[in-house]
A and B are shown apart, each in its own frame.
Chain A
Amino acid sequence: MVTAQTILEARELHYTYPDGSQALNGVDFRAERGKLTALLGSNGAGKSSLLLACNGIVRPQSGTVLFRGVPVSYSRKGLAMLRRQVGMVFQNPDVQLFSSSVFQDISFGLCNEGLPEDEIRKRVAVAMRNTGIEALEGKPVHRLSFGQKKRVAMAGVLAMEPALLLLDEPTAGLDPKGAAEIMQLVKAMQRQSGMSVIIATHDIEMVPLFCDHVCVMEAGRVLFEGSPEEVFTRRDKVRQAGLRLPRIGHLMEILKEKDGFRFSEEAFSIGSARRAIKEWGRER
């Protein structure tokens, strides 16, 4: 079912890498326009492979990827069209940054789009400001820290103003503050420009804070999906997928089952847990 709200849909994707490892095994998946969708799964579940399929890098052996309701064309032109609108930030920034100059690397995608020079300069400046890397402009890329490189990689993709942004493990390898900042930045961009975002992650704590929709993946397929609350309520399935509840959710579960607390709503973040506990206190 494709609604006007669906920006990307994957139907029955199967993909096996040339070396024989089966990465996608019948993935059905939808991302809503203007929403932040998380692909949650343990290592090797196929998250990165699915993102690559969304961008036309991985061409599934069977199944279809639809962008805005239209099947992706794997012709040279079709792929160029797709990638102009679907941007991807890789897990490892060293893979993505090919130039030793921050400015040049960010300008790369914009040059490929054939934009006029002053427009490029403007957009590079905005992307650098948004990602907080203005101070890094003169520094050679190999002298940056991992988190700084990650921001530069992100700026290079955000500058292209994609309609759909694919982020592979955006918070992995970042300190807590850096991870929160990156996610806030993504959230702000999403609110501001209505950009749709798909995030592959196993950062469980981040999901209830930032994501609108969650697809839990296991062994190359989507096990189940729903809002973060819906997903984490199905504890057994979450654990079956090799994941766990957010710590707060786990605490609320223990309070409820072992200590006789009663909560009217499920809580997986500090804010909602606080509300639930206060309400419980009032009712007693």
Chain B
Amino acid sequence: MITLDRYTAASPLSRVDPLVKLSFALPPLLLCLWADRIALSLLVLLSMGAATVFAGRVSARIFIGLLALPLAFLVAGAAGVAVDFSPDPDRFAVAMPVGGVYAGLTASGLDRALRLFFRAMGSVSCMYFIALTTPPETLFHAARRLRVPELLIEMAGLVYRFLFILLDSAGRIRLAQESRLGYVDLRASFRSLAALSSALFLMAARRADECYTALECRGYAGTLRVLHEPCERPRSFMLLLAGVHGLLAAALLLIWRYPEMFPW
């Protein structure tokens, strides 16, 4: 299992007010989607990458590795956009015959595909900035300040916590089964998997009971009231925000003013 929590907790940006972080990452995301210019998308990708790696102290390998995740879908999707079919081979820059028609790349198809590709990458990088530097508790806290109903936030917090316990238990049971040849053939696999799921279900029910008892012991009375670690709004991050937004605004202005210099 790859889980991002390991990076978020260690990040020096983890304590920065998540609303400030949102106001840092959201405008570039919208810019990517709205402007749909390769140059701008690339700039967003680079600046978000730099912010995550240098300010957020997430290793560049992790960031790039995560960008590779949507790559498979994106390449398939972009290829679909780029490739056209026509009986006339002269329409294409490159073409090959498929059945009775020709499949190939046109300049405009290629342009569309590239724009789609960078637009997606730029937007995803904005989300990764948040995902890699913000522990869920601070997100929940932000949601509370945005007046999301308390019940939803509590549920999300509990689900997050118990998801790991569930994964952990499932992993252990599976290991125990494997060590007793539970997955040697298809038949055994089906049987083991069924046993694992029912064991997990029973365990979850029992665990819920025990957990409720434990909460009661500490005076639980219907709401999970906890104190939050204070959020910070460090100057350095504010400067980063101003810098990146300024850069993007300047780039946007430049492209708008001199469109002929930036055909893409």
Contact = CB atoms under 8 A, between A and B. Distances in A.
B218 A101 contact: no
Contact of A103 (B157, B215, B229): B229
A109 B213 contact: no
B138 to A, nearest CB: 9
B161 A95 contact: no
Interface string B185-216: 00000000000000000000001001101111
Interface stretch (B3-11, B100-108, B252-260): B3-11
A252 to B, nearest CB: 40
B213 A52 contact: yes
Interface string B73-94: 0000000000000000000000
A97 to B, nearest CB: 8
B164 interface: yes
Contacts of A88: 214, 217
B219 interface: yes
A157 B218 contact: yes
B227 A124 contact: yes
Contact of B5 (A98, A99, A140, A156): A140
A109 B216 CA distance: 10
B211 A95 contact: yes
B239 interface: no
A98 B227 contact: no
B53 to A, nearest CB: 20
Given A95-B210, A100-B161, A109 B10 contact: no
Interface string B165-197: 100100000000000000000000000000000
A103 B20 CA distance: 22
Interface in A188-233: none
Contact of A112 (B135, B165, B168, B220): B220
Contact of B221 (A80, A92, A94): A80
B217 A99 contact: no
Interface in A149-192: 156-157, 160
B233 to A, nearest CB: 18
Nearest to A88: B217
Contacts of B158: 98
Contacts of B229: 101, 103-104
Contacts of B220: 112
A84 B224 contact: no
A95 B214 contact: yes
Given A94-B165, A100-B157, A142-B168, A112 B219 contact: yes
A141 B161 contact: yes
Contacts of B207: 95
Contacts of A104: 137, 226-229
Looking at chain A's contact residues, is the secondary structure mostly helix, strand, loop, or mixed? helix
A98 B168 CA distance: 15
A90 B213 CA distance: 10
B225 interface: yes
Nearest to A137: B229
B109 interface: no
A98 B221 CA distance: 15
Contacts of A92: 210
Contact of B9 (A112, A139, A156, A160): A139
Interface string A78-106: 01100110011010101111111101110
B264 interface: no
Interface stretch (A29-37, A113-121, A256-264): A113-121
A110 B227 contact: yes
Contacts of B211: 95-96, 98
Most buried by B among A96, A99, A103, A140: A140
Nearest to A52: B213
B227 A121 contact: yes
B6 to A, nearest CB: 7
Contacts of B135: 100-101, 140
Contacts of B9: 138-140, 143
B262 interface: no
Interface in B91-138: 135-137
A118 to B, nearest CB: 10
Contacts of A80: 219, 221
Of B5, B218, B221, chain A has the most CB atoms within 10 Å of the CB of: B218
Contacts of A140: 5, 9, 135
Interface of B: 5-6, 9-10, 14, 135-137, 157-158, 160-161, 164-165, 168, 207, 210-211, 213-221, 224-229
6 contacts: A87-B218, A104-B229, A120-B227, A142-B165, A142-B168, A157-B218
Interface of A: 52, 55, 57, 79-80, 83-84, 87-88, 90, 92, 94-101, 103-105, 107-113, 117, 120-121, 124, 138-143, 156-157, 160
Given A108-B225, A113-B219, A140-B5, 5 more contacts: A88-B217, A96-B214, A99-B224, A104-B227, A142-B165
| Minimum-distance CB pairs A-B, first 4 | A112-B219, A142-B164, A107-B227, A109-B218
